[in-house]
Amino acid sequence: MTQISINVDGVNYSDDVEPRTLLVHYLREQVGKTGTVIGCDTSNCGSCTVHLDGQSVKSCSVFAVQADGHEVTTIEGLAVDGQLHPMQQAFHENHALQCGYCTPGMIMQSIDLLNENPSPSEEEVRDGLEGNLCRCTGYQNIVKAVLSQAEGARTPSEAQGAQS
């Protein structure tokens, strides 16, 4: 067991973990952040995406000990005082989720994508989400949600038409 100190969603935690414990398991099982989910065992699906010091990582490809001394933000830490993060709101407005299993990872990745490239083209959004699989939505509304949050984009309410 190794002791680690991690700030998760603004709260400091000190815990003992096994060296082999993955960050996603630590978050889910020890901190109780079950909003972050596991979709695969080969780091292909992106369901587990969180932010580590503000940048997206697949938390199944990071050991908990590697996050020692760092800040982790999960889907549960995005809303501030009950106010949804604009990307959460955009996913809702644009019907960018169905079963919602990919959604936490997809939202975290989308935020990171716009941090890196605030006004991406549709193609750049699609490429930026390549590591996050969704089996339900066909991606179109996810792409639309992300583009609605790009710099200089239409406001979400203007982008609300149901038909494309």
Partner 1 sequence: MTVTEDRPAAEIGQARRRKEDQRLITGRTKWTDNLTLPGMLHLAMVRSPVAHGTITSIDVEEAKASPGVIAVITGRDIADEQGSLPCAWPITEDQLAPPHPSIAVDTVNFAGEIVACIVARTAAQAKDAVELVDVEYDDLPVVLDMAAAAEGGDLTHPDLGTNVSATWVFDSAEAGTGTNVEDAIQAGEIIIERTYRQQRLIPAFMEPRSIVVDPTGEQTTMWSATQIPHILKLMLALTCGISESKLRVIAPDVGGGFGGKLQVTPEEVITLVVSRRLGRPCKYTETRSESILAAHHGRDQIQHLTLSANRDGTVTGLKVELLADMGAYLGLVTPGVPILGAFMYNSIYKFPAYRFVCKNIFTNKAWTDAYRGAGRPEATFAIERIMDELAAEVGVDPMEIRERNWIKPEEFPFSTVAGMEYDTGNYEAATDKAKQLFGYDELRAEQQRRRESGDPVQLGIGVSTFTEMCGLAPSRVLGALSYAAGGWEHATVRMLPSGKVEVLTGTSPHGQGHETAWSQIVADRLGVPFDDVEVLHGDTQIAARGLDSYGSRSLVVGGMAVVAAADKVIEKAKPIAAHLLEADVDDLEFEAGKFGVRGTDASIGIGELAFAVFSAHNMPEGVEPSLDAEATYDPVNFSFPHGTHLCAVEVDTETGEAKIRDYTCVDDVGKVINPLIVEGQVHGGLVQGIAQALFEEALYDDSGTLVTGSFVDYLVPSAADMPHFTTDRTESPSTTNALGVKGVGEAGTIASTPAVVNAIVDALRHLGINDIEMPCTPHRVWSAIQSRSSGEETPAQSQNVADSGLPSHNVTVSEGPADGGDGADPNVGRADSTSTGSETNGGAA
Report the C-alpha gap between 148 and 31 in whole angstroms: 33
**According to CB under 8 A, which one of 5, 34, 55, 83 is a site residue for partner 1?**
34
The count of other CB atoms within 10 Å of the CB of residue 83 is: 10
Q: What is the separation of C-alpha 14 from the centre of its chain, rounded to a whole number of angstroms?
A: 23
Report the C-alpha gap between 8 and 50 in whole angstroms: 10
Q: Which does 86 bind (CB under 5 to 8 A by kind): partner 1, ligand FES, none?
A: none
Report the C-alpha gap between 38 and 47 in whole angstroms: 6
Counting residues that bind partner 1 (by CB under 8 A) gives 59
Establish if 97 lies at the interface with ligand FES (CB under 6 A): yes
What's the closest the beta carbon of residue 75 comes to partner 1, in angstroms?
Answer: 4
Interface map 103-142 toward ligand FES (x if CB under 6 A): x------------------------------xxxx-----
| Span 44-83, contacts to partner 1 by CB under 8 A | 44-45, 47, 74-76, 78-79
Residue linked to tokens 């990307």: 87
Q: Which does 126 bind (CB under 5 to 8 A by kind): partner 1, ligand FES, none?
A: partner 1
Query: Token pair of 108, please?
Result: 């975290």
**According to CB under 8 A, which one of 12, 14, 157, 164 is a site residue for partner 1?**
164
Sheet holding 2-8, edge to edge: 11-17, 2-8, 71-73, 49-52, 55-58
Establish if 148 lies at the interface with partner 1 (CB under 8 A): no
**According to CB under 8 A, which one of 103, 111, 120, 149 is a site residue for partner 1?**
103
User: What residues contact residue 125 under an 8 Å CB cut-off, 6+ apart?
Assistant: 113, 143, 146, 147
- For ligand FES, the binding residues (CB under 6 A) are 38-40, 43-48, 58, 60, 97-103, 134-137
